[in-house]
Structure 1
Amino acid sequence: MTAYAIGHIRPETMNEDILRYIETIQATMDPFGGRFLVHGGGPVEVLEGAFTSSLVIIAFPDMERARAWYASEAYQEILPLRTRHIEGDIFLAEGVPPTYDATRTAARIREEAGL
């Protein structure tokens, strides 16, 4: 099942550390099959609420490889380049299969809750 590393980040002013991080992150992802789906910078169309940050979404073939990438020596080595300058929330989430149907989830929740 595809897994995603998601970052909701609030970057400060661009600097040398952040540029080095951006220049080297892809090489840390490649051995784990990671690829950017969204990488900040682009426009975000806010439909509800407020969003004043940047969004990063990286896809991995599965949760095991997503975890392994984050824990890898190569990524941990460059991580301080980002964390010294950028605040945010970073998390991993597992995707759903192509056959996922929200109506089945709702039915299960109704049944479990007795609604």
Structure 2
Amino acid sequence: MAAYVIFTRESTQDPAALDAYRSKVRATFDGHAHKVLAAYGTQQVLEGDAAEATVILEFPSVEAARAWYDSEAYQAVAQHRLAGSRHRVVLVEGL
């Protein structure tokens, strides 16, 4: 069953740290089946507060999503995202 990792950037604290994250994150997907469904597109806020940016990733399963997210490669790169911004990251199991 598919699973989705949704990143919502709420605010930016350090643009240079976010640039480092963006330049390194793609390599963390090597060996992990995934599909980018949305990334930094134009948003229309229907309810609630606007996010600075949203990324939606699809993985074949919750286990596959966790394997990528928990991987040494991603966790090393995620430190740049954590230093550069406030994000909400949610893993949602599909139907």
* TM-score, with structure 1 as normaliser: 0.72
Q: Following superposition, which runs of at least 4 residues in structure 1 exceed 3 angstroms of deviation? A: none
Query: Which structure is higher in helix share?
Result: 1
- Identity within the alignment, %: 35
Q: Kindly indicate whether the alpha-carbon contact (under 8 Å) linking 2:8 and 2:51 is maintained by their aligned counterparts in 1.
A: no
* TM-score, with structure 2 as normaliser: 0.86
Unaligned stretches of 5+ residues in structure 1: 97-115
Q: Which amino acid aligns with 1:91?
A: V
CA deviation after TM superposition for structure 1 residue 39, in Å: 1.4
Query: Which structure is higher in strand share?
Result: 2
Would you say 1:91 and 2:86 are equivalent positions? no
Structure possessing the higher radius of gyration over alpha carbons:
1
Give the Cα separation in 1 of the matches to 2:6 and 2:78.
15
Structure with bigger RCO (C-alpha 8 Å, 6+ apart) = 2
Tell me how large the CA RMSD over aligned residues is: 1.7
SS at match of 1:32: coil
